[in-house]
Structure formats: structure tokens, C-alpha cells
Amino acid sequence: MAGQFLVHVDFSFVRGDVILERDSKDWAVAYAGLANRAGWDQGKLGWWEWNTSRDACILFDNRAQKSPGVMATVGLTAGNSPFIAVSLFGFNPQAATFGYAGQAAWGSDYGKGLNGAPRGEWEIVAKPEDMAFVRAELIKLQAEIETEYVDAAIDVIGIADPTPLSDLYGATRSIQKSDYVGAALSLVSVLPYLGDLAGKTAKGLRIAKKLSDLYARLRRVMHILQVLEEKALRARKAAREAMERAEAMRRKAQREAAQAEQRIRRAFVETVQKRYAQVARAAGWRADDLARACEWCKFSVPPKLVVARKRNPTALKFDGAPGYTPKPPEIKSLKSAKSGPHEGLYVRPDLDEIERTLGKRKRLDMEDELWDLERKGFKFGPDGVLKDKAGNKVFSDIDFMSITNVPPGRAATAWGGRLAENDDPFYVGWINDLFFQGRKNKQHGNQDRFTKKVSDAAQDVNVKPGRAPDADELRAPDAFLVIGPDGVARNVSWAELKRIYAEYGIHNPYTGL
């Protein structure tokens, strides 16, 4: 194969018109240049075959093809003008100076979609009556073309060439599959055979007239299909544009909503830090930590209720400072100093004082705890301040009593689901990231759902809670910090906390208090 170009041939067999795809001058120059480079005879550059299966004209180097279709010789006249001679298999070639003749007839331009798009997977949108007409007309045309062809072929040569018969049968199969485009193209490919036979039989005039009628009807069918194709393309384009506009609007709305939510949250956090500065300090929290906790309780889904024990406010000067760390879970009964130069830090206890006030048993328990801490790398410095194995001084952590989901209109449930998740490092770390920007103020699970020594850690209601409120907490008016699902933070007493538990239907595990 020497080269390939696209030429659209109008099947007006009487005129033999040829319409080129591109500007004739550019096309002629390109073709002539190709011929010169190939050393071809410019009087007969080659043959063009109308290939109905690909809707393209394919150049074969100086070889006339006998396959069905319209054949055209392309060359240059003595005056160096390009020409195309069209042959319809038996008709004398009709010379025609080619030039761009405007809009190609639709039947010959069917190999291209709307606006020059290549033919591909077309979606045909039509009214039912349109498609009903197309189907009925194609069925009639198939039958009539087959009858005319077989009758003329037998009359001329005694047999019917199987090639056009194959196209006719292909048209039938296409109609059965509702591939009306394929059926129409298959029927068009048979018409040159009828044109070839028309001049060889006594029925030539009748066949020529019938041929013109068949072609006109095929043009009408194909025009309907093309109109429907244009409608489909326009509809798809309009739908795509509408979807793109809707998607752009959706993204814009989402972006604006997210920006609005961020503005609301920033304003909320700023308000909390100003309004609840005293609440935060009384609870031993930094104001920015409390603001983040309030934001999470209010805007998370579902909203949350957070309850935490008050922490000695002196711990705030150590929180986040280098060389200090919150109390780890290994420390059980040891208390931070309530006063003195090391207030807020964990110091060596006075064992004699413990024995005198709490009894021998408590002293022995404390001695065991101190021995265990030293075994794990904790040490007391010369000043009596406890340090972890990394040398960090230890200050009070924040003990959370509970974190609860509060779905609007439904019963509150424990955050995290199963009881076993209460002490999961993931949940502990999550709260530290949410509230404290990664500082490890939360060292363990929530006291209300303490899991130690609980045989069934999957149960939802804990029957073995952690450390119960002590005597000081039972008396203090601000022993607990409560952050409600509305984002409001309060310092409350034990009595108030019990009422809050009852209000939200939260199980209070500290019976008798």
C-alpha cells in the first residue's frame, strides 16, 4: 500500500460528482508531491477504492482492484490540472476536474460524525415513530434491492455474485440487531453492482430508474439517521455541559460551605478561648486545648459529651515544656505535690505520714509501687522529684471520666463502642491529637469504663470502674470539667455531674456516692 487518503464520493451515479475531504489545492499538491517522490506516472497515479467497511478511499500503487465499490483514477491533465475519473464498474469513466464543492452530500459524508468527528460508538436518539419508519424502510429496501440485483445478475451472467449478496445478508443481520447505520451502509455498497448491470440488460432503463429511487430512499433514511445523530451529539454535549456546570456549582458550594464552616469553627474556638479562659484554668486545661475539645464535641457527628477530673492548675506551667512529661499509667497511688516548691510534680512520698494517716496496709502498697517504678527505670532526684527513664520530671496528667456519643433524640452511647476499646492506644492517641496537639495529657482510658480485672471486656456497661471520686472531689464545687454536645464547658460538682449523667441516660458506675 503506497498511501492512504480520505475522499468522499457522492453516489449520484449519473453525474459522477466527487467531493474531496480537504481543500483541493492542498490535496492536489500533496498528492502530486507524493507521486513525484514515488516516481509514479503522473498520467495515472493510481486507483482509489471506495471501501464501505471503513468509509475510506485507499490508494493501491497502479493496481485496479476488483472488489466492489466506486473506482476512480486520479491524475494530472496535459495542462497540469488534477482530475479524477470515476468508474462505476462498466460505465465509461467520467472525467471531472475536482475542487471543493461545498458541503458534501450527507450520504457520501457518512464516514464522519458531526463537525468532522470520526465515526465511532454513536448513540442514536429518536422518536419511536422515526425509528419505526427507518426500520420498516430498511426492510423494504433490502428486499427490493435484493430482488433487483438477483434478477438483473441472472439475466446478464446467469448467476448472482456472492459479494453483494453477502452485503445484503449483512444488512438483514444489522436490521435484526437494530444497527440501522450498518444496514444502510451495506445496502449502499450493493448499488454500484446494479449500476454496472443496468447497461448490460434489456431492462437497463427500468433498473436505472429503480436505482435512482432506491438511492433517494436510502439517502432519506441516512439523512434521518444523521439528523438523529446530530440530535444525540447535541444532547450529549448539552448534558455534559449541564453536568459540568452542576459539578462546578457543587464544588463551589462545597468549597464555600467548607470555608463557611471553617470561619464558624474559628470564630467558635476564639469565642471559647475568651469566654472559657477561667473554666479552662480551674480545670487545669490550657484555653486552646479546651477550645478544640469544645469544637469537637459540638461539630462531630454525633455530638459528644466529655467529662474529665480537675487537674491541679499548677501543672499548666509544665504542660508542653521540655524536660517534663504527664503522669504515665505506671503511677497508681502516688500523688503530685499540692504545695511547696515542687507543687504539681510527683515527689517522693512520706511513708511515715502515709502509715500514720492511712494505715500499715497503705504504706506497704506504696512501697510496692515505688519499688515497681524504680524497676521500670523511674528515679527520684536529689530534690525528691520523680523522673522517668528519659530523665523527664513527671507532672499530673488529665483523667477522663467518660466520652459519650449523644445522638439527637436518641440514647447516649459510649464513644468508641466496645468497652475493650476504652484503653486502646489508638483512642487514647486520637484524643491527644484532637485536644492537645499530640501532647500526651491523656495517658489511659476513661475511668467510667475501666477495663482492668473485667472478665468480659466487650460488655457495654462497666461493673468495675476505675478510681472513684475521692473525698475532696465529692466536696469540691468544681471537681469536674463537663463539655456538652452544644460545645459549652462547665466546672461542676459531683452532685451536678450525677444529674448530667441522669439527663443523658449515662450509666453511673460509682454506686453509693
Residue pLDDT, tens place only, 225-280: 766 666 656 666 766 777 777 777 777 777 777 777 778 777 777 877 778 888 99
Domain range enclosing 488:
280-311+397-513
Q: Which of 70, 86, 109 is the last residue of a domain?
A: 109
Mean of the per-residue pLDDT values for the chain?
Answer: 71
Which of 278, 324, 277, 272 is CA-nearest to residue 295? 272
Evaluate whether residue 145 is within a structural domain: no
SS (H, E, C) 278-297: HHHHHHCCCHHHHHHHHHHH
Kindly state whether residue 114 falls inside one of the protein's structural domains.
Answer: no
If we measure between CA atoms, which residue out of 339, 283, 268 comes closest to residue 313? 283
Identify the sign of the CA torsion 15, 18, 23, 24: negative
Position of cell 455531674? 497
Quick one: DSSP state of residue 49? E
Assess if residue 206 is contained within a domain: no
Residue 430 domain-assigned (yes or no): yes
Task: Assess whether 510 and 389 both reside in one domain.
Answer: no
User: Is there a single domain that holds both residue 442 and residue 389?
Assistant: no
Nearest to 3 by CA among 61, 71, 50, 65: 61
Q: Do 331 and 401 share a structural domain?
A: no
Is position 89 within any domain? Answer: yes
Is the domain of 497 the same as that of 437? yes
Q: What is the pLDDT along the chain (513 residues), one digit of tens a residue?
A: 222 222 333 322 222 223 333 333 333 433 444 344 334 343 333 333 332 222 223 222 333 333 333 334 444 444 444 444 333 332 222 322 222 222 222 233 333 433 343 333 333 444 667 778 888 888 999 899 888 888 887 777 666 667 777 778 888 888 887 777 778 877 877 777 777 777 677 677 788 788 888 888 888 887 777 666 666 566 667 667 777 777 777 777 777 777 777 787 777 778 777 788 889 999 999 999 998 999 889 888 889 999 999 999 999 999 999 999 999 888 888 888 888 889 889 998 888 887 877 788 888 888 888 898 989 999 999 999 999 999 999 999 999 999 998 888 777 888 776 676 777 888 888 899 989 999 999 998 888 887 666 555 555 555 567 788 888 899 999 999 999 998 899 999 999 999 999 999 888 888 777
Domain-terminating residue out of 396, 414, 437: 396
Residues 305 and 405 in one domain: yes
Task: With respect to residue 323, please indicate whether it lies within any of the assigned structural domains.
Answer: yes
Co-location of 470 and 445 in the same domain: yes
Beta bridge partners of 379: 387
The cell numbers describing 66, all together, are: 476488483
Q: Which helix (H) or strand (E) holds 18?
A: strand 18-20
Are 295 and 428 part of one and the same domain? Answer: yes
Check which CATH number belongs to the domain holding 426 and give it: 3.30.70.1720
Q: Based on the domain organization, do 389 and 411 belong to the same domain?
A: no
Give backbone dihedrals phi and psi of 210, rounded to 5 degrees, phi first: -65, -40
323 with 464, same domain?
no
Is the Cβ–Cβ distance between 290 and 489 less than 8 Å?
Answer: yes
pTM here? 0.51
345 and 484 in one domain? no
Q: Same structural domain for residues 304 and 443?
A: yes
Residue 388 lies in a domain: yes
Concatenate the DSSP letters of all residues of 218-229 into one string.
Answer: HHHHHHHHHHHH
Give kind and range of the element (H or E) at residue 460.
Answer: none
* Helix 128-157, helix 204-275: angle, nearest 10: 150
Together in a domain, 304 and 434:
yes
Boundary residue ending a domain (346, 375, 396): 396
> Per-residue pLDDT tens for 330-386?
888 888 888 888 988 999 888 888 787 778 888 888 888 889 898 999 999 999 999
- Is position 427 within any domain? yes
Q: How many domains does the chain have?
A: 3
